[in-house]
Amino acid sequence: MISEEQVNKLTKEALRSNLDALDKIIGFLEKYENSPIAKFAIYSILFQFVFNSLDETGKLCEECGGKCCKSGYPIPVYNFDYNEMKKHIKLNLQKQGDIHLLSRPCPFQKGWMCTIHEFKPYACLSFPFATEDEQIEVIKSYDGKGIPNFHVPSYCSAGKMTIEYINRVLENLKTKLQRDPSPRELYEEIKKIFSNKNSSK
């Protein structure tokens, strides 16, 4: 049985645009696909993977100025995040229970840039589609039918662009299949797109 921490670490690797990790976490979650929360998790990881992998999102984040790093609740830093971060920088974070907390505004943000981008916490990699703070109401109302209607903060043009991008992928799949694609079919299409992008770099 895979532990919660292993699931989180695998998801974190997938959200770093790692296609092998994405394949493993989607495969794991598919075992529970009849559960709305597992199906929601598949979609949120796919949307977030696209958000983190598209070159265009960086330009939009620069225009935004990194508002997600400047305000909001403190960012949870799990033990696996903390241990990874400690290898690179000195840390002095408040602890609440088993989790460390990174305050906002983030002390590691310079201008719009993240100075710890290569080893930033799981929660940061998960914004906006795979964070409970942003999606809690969507999670509560999702019944497992169709694609969740993700909430994106009004300032997050990169998140809105990601939804538009995935909607185009979905429309192409619907035309080809003559029906709504399954989470697996959407995943395979996204994997194909990003495998081709990576091989052409």
Question: Can you give the pLDDT at residue 87?
Answer: 95
pLDDT at residue 109 is higher than 70: yes
Residue ranges of the domains in the chain? 4-67+127-199
pLDDT at residue 198 is higher than 70: no
pLDDT tens by residue, 46-94: 999 999 999 999 999 999 999 999 988 899 999 999 999 999 999 889 9
pLDDT tens by residue, 141-154: 999 999 999 999 99
Nearest C-alpha neighbor of 118 from the set 156, 81, 75, 74: 81
Question: Can you give the pLDDT at residue 127?
Answer: 95
Question: Can you give the pLDDT at residue 200?
Answer: 59
The answer to whether 114 touches 69, Cβ cutoff 8 Å, is yes
With a threshold of 0.75, does the pTM exceed it? yes
Q: What is the C-alpha to C-alpha distance for residues 9 and 13, in angstroms, rounded to an integer?
A: 6
